[in-house]
């Protein structure tokens, strides 16, 4: 019998890890977008909060990988972001595919950081989400974006470690821990 039976504890911070292989993540870190959502700016703030040696290049290309230890890709479609960048959805998908391929060729691990919740799910976002997720060495996802188990199913299928966190601010803790 548990002495906590019948008690309800408030959930302040939730991290669920799906076990997988252990990856050695190195700095410096390149942060880039996959879909041109503004979420990349939030991930930049989280990386800064954890004192990571990181640079953000929303339209990163293979040449930007020189000297990089790890890449954080922030998936989420934004027509406004694509318009501001002056590129089409197809051009962005081609860029992300090439970046993922170059990262694999350089043996630079990718960490997916999905902080957009439901707003960056389904529709046009999920093509970017799936591409990045299936090519990640680790995923950090705000739980609202995984209510349908989209990311947790991919993590399970591909044996990719996944940290589900309650909110954007909570994503900083597992992100920082990956580089300790």
In a domain, 16, yes or no: no
Q: CA nearest 77: which of 120, 130, 140?
A: 120
Q: CA nearest 58: which of 39, 133, 131?
A: 39
What's the pLDDT tens digit per position in 31-86?
A: 999 999 999 999 999 999 999 999 999 999 999 999 999 999 999 999 999 999 99
What's the pLDDT tens digit per position in 121-173?
A: 888 899 999 999 999 999 999 999 999 999 999 999 999 999 999 999 999 99
Question: What confidence category does residue 8 fall into, taking pLDDT thresholds of 50, 70 and 90?
Answer: very low
Question: What confidence category does residue 117 fall into, taking pLDDT thresholds of 50, 70 and 90?
Answer: confident
Q: Indicate the SS3 state at residue 138.
A: strand
In a domain, 13, yes or no: no
pLDDT recorded at residue 55:
98
* Rg of the chain (C-alpha set): 16
In a domain, 90, yes or no: yes
Q: Indicate the SS3 state at residue 130.
A: helix
In a domain, 67, yes or no: yes
The two tokens of residue 99 are: 């970046």
pLDDT at 110 over 50: yes
Q: What is the tally of structural domains in the chain?
A: 1
In a domain, 89, yes or no: yes
In a domain, 161, yes or no: yes
In a domain, 2, yes or no: no
Q: What is the span of the domain harbouring residue 55?
A: 23-177
Complete DSSP assignment for 45-97? HHHHHTT--EEE-TT--GGGGTT-SEEEEEE-B-HHHHHHHT--HHHHHHHHH
Q: What is the CATH number of the domain that holds 157?
A: 3.40.50.2000
CA distance 41 to 46: 9
Question: What confidence category does residue 23 fall into, taking pLDDT thresholds of 50, 70 and 90?
Answer: low
Instruction: Tell me if the bond preceding 28 is cis, omega within 30° of 0.
Output: yes
| pTM of structure | 0.86
In a domain, 3, yes or no: no
């Amino acid at each position: 019998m548990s002495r906590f039976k019948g008690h309800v504890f408030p959930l302040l911070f939730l991290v669920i890890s799906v076990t997988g292989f252990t990856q050695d993540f190195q700095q410096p870190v390149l942060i880039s977008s996959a879909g041109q959502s503004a979420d990349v700016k939030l991930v930049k703030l989280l990386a800064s909060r954890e004192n990571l040696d990181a640079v953000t290049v929303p339209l990163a290309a293979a040449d930007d990988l020189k000297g990089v230890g790890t890449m954080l890709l922030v998936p989420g479609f934004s027509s406004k972001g694509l318009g501001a960048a002056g590129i089409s959805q197809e051009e962005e998908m081609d860029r992300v595919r090439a970046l993922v391929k170059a990262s694999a060729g350089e043996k630079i691990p990718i960490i997916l950081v999905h902080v957009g919740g439901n707003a960056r799910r389904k529709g046009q976002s999920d093509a970017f989400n799936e591409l990045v997720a299936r090519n990640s060495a680790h995923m950090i996802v705000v739980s609202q974006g995984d209510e349908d188990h989209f990311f947790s199913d991919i993590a399970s299928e591909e044996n990719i470690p996944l940290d589900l966190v309650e909110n954007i601010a909570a994503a900083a803790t597992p992100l920082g821990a990956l580089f300790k």
